[in-house]
Chains A and B, each alone.
Chain A
Amino acid sequence: MRKVYAVFAGLLLAAAVVQMYLAAVGAFDKPQDDSSFAAHSMNGMLVIPVLSLVATAAAAAARAPGRLIGLTVLPVGLVVVQALIVALGGAFEDAAGNTTPLSLAILGLHALNGMAVLGVCGTVFGRARRLASAGPEQVEEGAVDGPAVRAS
């Protein structure tokens, strides 16, 4: 189960890296419009939260430490903050829908919070790998009576 957890943590990290890549794709897309960031928002609002939740379930099943389980689910919360930053920035645009210094100051936080997501995913993957290589006999035990509920 710990190997499964490590695999999902790796997928989560990969999705976070892809997310950065897609942000740049959107930023350089011409003409710039809503569809420029379609892949970015699909990956961010669908793939990353789902992987984070699945990895958290795997972490729980693998009897990972509580702190690590918490870190694994943290990307979901940070993704919500990402969306909130975009919404908050949009609320401070001017009447014509153009950005203002204030809205840009808020929207810039999207990049910083994005780095936080990447950092958390990196940490999670590192610890999950260490956990996986710790002790195989414990892995079996964790797989047997780990709470199956998490698969839901």
Chain B
Amino acid sequence: MTTDRLMVLDLLVSVLAAAAWVGAGAAAAARRPRTAAALMAGALVTSPARAGSVLALAGAGWWFVQEKVTIALPLLLTASVVAAVTAGPRLLAASRAASEAGRDAARSPAVVVPLLGAGYAAAAGPVQTFLLGYPAEPGSALILLAVVAGAVLLTWRAMTPRVPLLRAATAATVVAALAGGALTFLPATTAEAATPVAATAGAVAPATAEGGHDMPGHDMSTQASVPVRPVTDLRGPSAPAPGGTVRRFTLTARTATVTLSSGRKVAAWTFDGQVPGPPITAEQGDLVEVRLRNADITEGVTLHWHGYDVPSGEDGVPGLTQEAVPPGGEFVYRFVAAQTGTYWYHTHEVSDIGVRMGLYGMLVVTPRGSATTGVDLTLPVHTFAGTTVVGDHDKPVLQEVAPGTPVRLRLVDTDNTPHRFTLAGTVYRLVAVDGTDLSGPGPLSRAGLRLPAGGRYDLAFTMPSGPVVLRVDDRTEAVRLTTTANGPGHGPRHGTGNGSGNGLATDDAPGAERTAGPTARSDHPGDVTDAEDAAAAAGWPELDLTRYGTPASTPYTSRSRFDRRFTLVLDRGLALGDGLPIYAHTINGRAYPHVPTQVVAEGDLVRLTVVNRGRDTHPWHLHGHRVLVLARDGRAPTGSPLWLDTFDVRPGEVWEVAFRAANPGLWMNHCHNLSHADLGMMLHLAYEGVTTPFHGGHGG
């Protein structure tokens, strides 16, 4: 059973146990001893069963059971034993008696109080999991225990005026609650005082590597050897690399009404009045210079280069690397186009709304001197005014392509949630992920490609003699490529699609039938798929990226010696947000801005473990660095090395990734479901000695 299923099963068992105990207590109080006995029997089955489900879940990692093993399970089992021993015999006797006396006996405090008490103890488990989340800390545990104890005392007092040691027990409960409250809220205030990257501190407050408590007042003199420099000094060069040219762009952010391909008009926030914004293209080694102007976006705007490892001062994070550009203002970004591939840019100020409303565009860098041959389409998929659009098309992108033409489709997910793509009508290769070429990408057909929010896939193939259709989420036809000669679905498909000399030929496919494939019938395994059969495409299994392509050497592996290790456990729970308690998307139990900053030194090899014990998918995105995937759920990739800037951590998954800290600065490290980021799921990663002159309290 998968970890996310186990998490749900465990919750189900815990709720059933609580319901059975409370039900037994309520039935006893209502003088129904037989019902109470039956419910108690159910509780005595489900309560130990919970131990089993927790044990099974523990196999996925300590993070998934920490609060259960330390608090919920001991509480449940203890209360169950007490209830079974004290209430059990009396209840059995009462249910056998089946008389008025027996009914009255069931209502005695010695029966009702232990049963309801076990119910409160059992309910504490799911309440803790849902409302508090990971991790259980002494403070919240004490409060929880005090609430359970208080409820027991209250029940007891309501049943009879003679409760032994009532005053002492009440006092102990109050003390526990007060101590819990102090432990929970006092550290939070000191954390606030040490808000990471504080504007005036002049240096970044460091934090413990494993997400422990802040260490306010850390003595920066121990790092005296590290030069202190502001992030505003970490800017791009003013000249291109040798052989490169300067590419100048001006983007003006303004509100506008855009017209989609169907003629539908939508109010949007745009760069230069269009959605997506003007594409920024360069050849490797060029200097890209983008002048950002803000006409009338009152919230302010910045440019963040998603996946592009620009100098920190060019990263476009308001309050951290620059101030947001107000209406009438401007900011000039400069960076050398060192990486080739498919990237995108978007605003990082009020980014959830801003990106959703259209403040994004494409950034594509091609190798120097590579003549563009064939068809190269950049396809940002976005949910715009409730409609799935590709670029500005709310109707399929139609294009005629001559058979034999090399085709490259650059898929970009600019939404908050993942999209599933299928490509029908051709065999193709997934040649690059997040801008980085894969090693030995094999031919693909009948595959669903799940693209995380913010991620990019480059697909390459040679145009066959029949139509090729790209679908999004098995519903929306996004792109339809037709041949100039044939109408859709007519005639046999010829193997002439294997163009020569473009490196994209399909003739090294492991299945020989894939190479010739002169038939269009979709019921032959390995054949080119039928472009028209949308229902079949919906059933195609999802490609597992960790098993695709061929292994290749990497500069470091999971066996390397790591200088820093960080663990991020993602969950939901009540946490202090920016001033107010919120039902947050939490990192190690905390919400931004109270998540301790991760501090690294330049040159460190850093290992990052991201655990999702919540019920939502979290596309994890670290600015300024690409990460190498070491393992997912403990299994190392068996295919191509995966260098990603955005990876989907689904419920129950554990990702281990690594990166070399080689791009000094102050960086956001956050969930790219920007609505989750707004609810606390972000933190900073800071290099020792780098400071910010800005307020530092906001990441957009």
B383's nearest neighbour on chain A, judged by CB, is: A31
- Would A147 and B675 be within 8 Å (CB), given that A66-B159, A90-B8 are in contact? no
Q: Render A62-75 as a binary contact track against B, CB cut-off 8 A, 1 for contact.
A: 00011101100100
Contact partners of A70 in chain B: CB under 8 A: 26
A31 x B154 contact (CB < 8 A):
no
Q: A25 within 8 Å of B by Cβ? A: no
B120's nearest neighbour on chain A, judged by CB, is: A73
- Would A87 and B154 be within 8 Å (CB), given that A38-B679, A152-B178 are in contact? no
Q: B448 within 8 Å of A by Cβ? A: yes
In the bound complex, CA of A30 to CA of B73 (Å): 42
Q: B5 within 8 Å of A by Cβ? A: yes
Q: B22 within 8 Å of A by Cβ? A: yes
Q: A42 within 8 Å of B by Cβ? A: yes
- Would A46 and B150 be within 8 Å (CB), given that A34-B417, A38-B675, A95-B541 are in contact? no
- Would A35 and B583 be within 8 Å (CB), given that A66-B159, A88-B8, A152-B150 are in contact? no
A61's nearest neighbour on chain B, judged by CB, is: B154
- Would A87 and B675 be within 8 Å (CB), given that A66-B155, A81-B15 are in contact? no
B154 x A147 contact (CB < 8 A):
yes
- Would A87 and B11 be within 8 Å (CB), given that A66-B29, A77-B22, A147-B170 are in contact? yes
Contact partners of A91 in chain B: CB under 8 A: 4-5, 8
Q: Render B388-410 as a binary contact track against A, CB cut-off 8 A, 1 for contact.
A: 00000000000000000000000
Contact partners of B19 in chain A: CB under 8 A: 77
Q: A123 within 8 Å of B by Cβ? A: no
Q: A84 within 8 Å of B by Cβ? A: yes
Q: B673 within 8 Å of A by Cβ? A: yes
Interface size counted on chain A using CB atoms at 8 A: 41
A152 x B8 contact (CB < 8 A):
no
Question: Which of A65, A81, A91 has most chain B Cβ within 10 Å?
Answer: A91
A 16-54 contacts with B by CB, 8 A: 30-35, 38, 41-42, 45-46, 49, 53
Question: Which of B18, B158, B572 has most chain A Cβ within 10 Å?
Answer: B158
In the bound complex, CA of A90 to CA of B29 (Å): 36
In the bound complex, CA of A128 to CA of B430 (Å): 64
Q: B83 within 8 Å of A by Cβ? A: no
Contact partners of A83 in chain B: CB under 8 A: 126, 130
B131 x A49 contact (CB < 8 A):
yes
A31 x B385 contact (CB < 8 A):
yes
Q: A60 within 8 Å of B by Cβ? A: yes
Q: Which secondary structure dominates where chain A touches chain B?
A: helix
Contact partners of B177 in chain A: CB under 8 A: 152
A90's nearest neighbour on chain B, judged by CB, is: B615
B154 x A150 contact (CB < 8 A):
yes
In the bound complex, CA of A88 to CA of B385 (Å): 30
In the bound complex, CA of A69 to CA of B155 (Å): 9
B15 x A149 contact (CB < 8 A):
no
In the bound complex, CA of A88 to CA of B572 (Å): 16
B615 x A87 contact (CB < 8 A):
yes
B 605-632 contacts with A by CB, 8 A: 615-617
A46 x B174 contact (CB < 8 A):
no
Q: How far is the CB of B30 from chain A (nearest CB, A)?
A: 9
In the bound complex, CA of A73 to CA of B152 (Å): 13
Q: A11 within 8 Å of B by Cβ? A: no
- Would A46 and B615 be within 8 Å (CB), given that A76-B127, A152-B174 are in contact? no
A59's nearest neighbour on chain B, judged by CB, is: B154
Q: How far is the CB of B616 from chain A (nearest CB, A)?
A: 7
Contact partners of A80 in chain B: CB under 8 A: 15, 123, 126-127, 130
Q: A86 within 8 Å of B by Cβ? A: yes
Q: How far is the CB of A23 from chain B (nearest CB, A)?
A: 15
Q: Render B128-170 as a binary contact track against A, CB cut-off 8 A, 1 for contact.
A: 0011000000000000001100110111011100000000001
A-B residue pairs, 6 tightest by C-beta: A30-B386, A35-B675, A152-B177, A66-B158, A91-B8, A31-B383
Task: Identify 22 residue pairs between A and B in the complex whose beta-carbon atoms are under 8 Å apart, listed by A's number.
Answer: A30-B385, A31-B386, A34-B616, A34-B675, A34-B676, A42-B582, A46-B582, A49-B127, A60-B158, A65-B158, A66-B29, A79-B130, A80-B123, A80-B126, A87-B11, A88-B8, A90-B4, A91-B5, A96-B473, A97-B420, A97-B617, A149-B174
